[in-house]
Amino acid sequence: MHNFLPIAYFENQFIPFEQANISIATHALHYGTGAFGGMRGIPNPDNPQQILLFRLDRHSQRLSNSAKFLQYDLPADKIQHTIIDFVKKNQPEKPFYIRPFVYTSDLGIAPRLHKIEKNFFIYGLELGDYLPPDGISCRISSWHRQEDRSLPLRGKISGAYITSSLAKTEAVESGFDEAILMNSQGKICEASGMNIFVVRDNKIITPGFDQDILEGITRDSAITVAKDLGIEVIERAVDKTELLIADEVFFSGTAAKITPVKRIENYHLSPNRPITEKIREKLTAITENRDAQYQDWVFPIDI
């Protein structure tokens, strides 16, 4: 049961969440011609009259870029200002997740992006841990990640998430928490909605952008933090067998934050995860605005 925030932004106005409804004939519903973002916010632990958003500028820019694939000119500053107003109107009292969404809002039936109405909405919900923070089990999915030559993977295009949905359900219904997808070259790509990191010999290895991964903002944050901590980060293709002999494996994502992996298929990983924990602790401190070095990553909103 989700606890949705009471106010949504819909068709250029703020209205009660229950009234923000679309037609069953909406174009994006039929063709997956939408793109979304996601960001977390928390009440400031030191100031109950303030909300902290993590990397609002980067999230707004990525959604603006995603909208370009739909031929929709939606400036990042408009997204950012609307999200700020959204937070002020809702005044959330618990950790929450914001879902901004751009889409083809026409009621036509032809699959196209030209000469069609586009729109933008925002809603939110209270959200704690998306995955168990003590570690999860994973299977290698029978579904493969799409290729950038067939789908714009640098945008969070809604239609692309059918593959994630198939992989996630396959994993859960076969007794695992999460799926790990390979790309068309047979290399490790990402999870159903998270980027993946492998730790070997005190170095972090993660698939690069040439491996058809999503350009994750939490991924970028984890890489930056790791380098600042003096940990070497290598971006390259990753083989399946590397996961099975890894010292640590963890996921990153807005919803997942930093989530360790404790088992892949029938291979159990060590419960000692010093590098994963260092990065998780550092990012937690940053999101709570307890780290002066990264204050520009945290956007405070007075409510």
pLDDT in tens, 210-236: 999 999 999 999 999 999 999 999 999
Whether 119 and 150 share a structural domain:
no
Is residue 34 situated within a structural domain? yes
At 9, the pLDDT band (50, 70, 90 cuts) reads very high
pLDDT confidence of residue 242:
96
Whether 111 and 196 share a structural domain:
no
Is residue 280 situated within a structural domain? yes
Range of the domain at 162: 136-287
Total number of domains in the chain: 2
Number of neighbours of residue 153 by Cβ within 10 angstroms: 22
- In sequence order, the β-bridge partners of residue 257 are 253
Of 126, 154, 170, the position where a domain reaches its end is: 126
pLDDT confidence of residue 108:
87
Q: What does the pLDDT look like over 67-99, one tens digit per residue?
A: 999 999 999 999 999 999 999 999 999 999 999
CA angle centred on 268, ends 206 and 242, rounded to 5°: 30
Whether 109 and 165 share a structural domain:
no
- Evaluate if residue 1 carries a pLDDT over 80: no
CATH of the domain at 184: 3.20.10.10
Question: What average pLDDT does the structure give for the chain?
Answer: 96
Whether 263 and 145 share a structural domain:
yes
Whether 121 and 222 share a structural domain:
no
Is residue 294 situated within a structural domain? no
Whether 148 and 275 share a structural domain:
yes
